[in-house]
Amino acid sequence: MSGWIDAHNHLQDARLGDHDSIIRSMREAGIEKCIVNATREDDWSKVESLAIAHPDFIIPAFGIHPWHAHTACPGWQERLTALLIKYPQSSIGECGLDRWIDSPSIEIQTPIFIDQLRIARELNRCATIHCLRAWEPLFDAFKHQAPPEKFLLHSFNGSIEIAHRLIPLGARFSFSGYFLKPEKSRTIEVFRQLPPELILLETDAPDMTPPAEFTTHPLAGNLNHPANLPAISDTLAKALHTSPEHLADLTRANTVDCFTIS
């Protein structure tokens, strides 16, 4: 069995503290690589620094999260394009649409999201999408701008019907440990019905903390340590009635394929 890949986290987040000790714990837990997602232009350089310091471990993703859409400054599209070209393994993330929050409004979020889809498609890069209570706006955005060939719905919590509308467009779906909560069992049911080759695993650390019984690396403030990934994987494997080794190998291969990484 090869190591796990965390398909989505935010290691640059200051709440995680010392990156070196976090990464050491991840490696000790058997994690081989991770996709580190920026959230706004302000943290692109932090993600870039991590990728430079740990080139064999960190694959950067640069983008503007819907919660930060209002912070986009003129010329961001050119700066984002230049970064993506500079790092050939990088992807766009985290971008998306969110109606769970009121501000910034979906009207502010949408053009920022559509521009990121366009750049991802032009450069043939994967896009990691956050979509919360905004499925119809997402499909509307795809009518304006077709998504790139492959894109990841991270911490996917949509229905199987939504998944079936997304799959022909190139969607992949990542599972985060937060959905191991008993009251979120509907999400596991959806993952049971997804084509196995489209399933990825993520932590979304430092957010989306799994329930305490699946947390091998507790952090103060109930933050999610990215080294919790193997426990999340093993628990999901049980729920999907497959072996831990099979799910680890499958999701690793799916992540390599989704992000076209080596």
Fill in the per-residue mask, 119 to 138: x = in contact with Zn ion (CB under 5 A), - = not in contact: --------------------
Match 């503290």 to its residue by tokens.
Answer: 17
Give the helix/strand (H/E) hosting 230.
helix 229-239
Strands of the 171-176 sheet, one edge to the other: 4-9, 31-37, 58-62, 91-98, 127-132, 151-153, 171-176, 199-202
DSSP code, position 13: -
Window 1-30: residues binding Zn ion (CB under 5 A): none
Q: Which residue is nearest to Zn ion (CB)?
A: 204
Closest CA to 53 of 19, 27, 3: 19
Count of residues that interact with Zn ion, criterion CB under 5 A: 2
CB of 229 to Zn ion, least distance (A): 14
Q: For Zn ion, which is the closer residue by CB, 48 or 94? A: 94
CB of 224 to Zn ion, least distance (A): 11
Fill in the per-residue mask, 44 to 83: x = in contact with Zn ion (CB under 5 A), - = not in contact: ----------------------------------------
CB of 171 to Zn ion, least distance (A): 17
CB of 8 to Zn ion, least distance (A): 6
33 neighbors 11 (Cβ within 8 angstroms): no
User: CB under 5 A: which stretch of 42-50, 86-94, 221-229, 230-238 binds Zn ion?
Assistant: 86-94
CB of 7 to Zn ion, least distance (A): 10
Q: Is the C-alpha dihedral spanning 204, 262, 51, 37 positive or negative?
A: negative
Member of 13, 41, 202, 204 binding Zn ion (CB under 5 A)? 204
Helix (H, G, I), strand (E, B) or coil at 203: coil
DSSP string of 99-154, one letter each residue: SSS-SS-HHHHHHHHHHHHHHHHHHT--EEEEEES-HHHHHHHHHHSPPPSSEEET
Q: For Zn ion, which is the closer residue by CB, 94 or 98? A: 94
Interface residue list for Zn ion (CB under 5 A):
94, 204
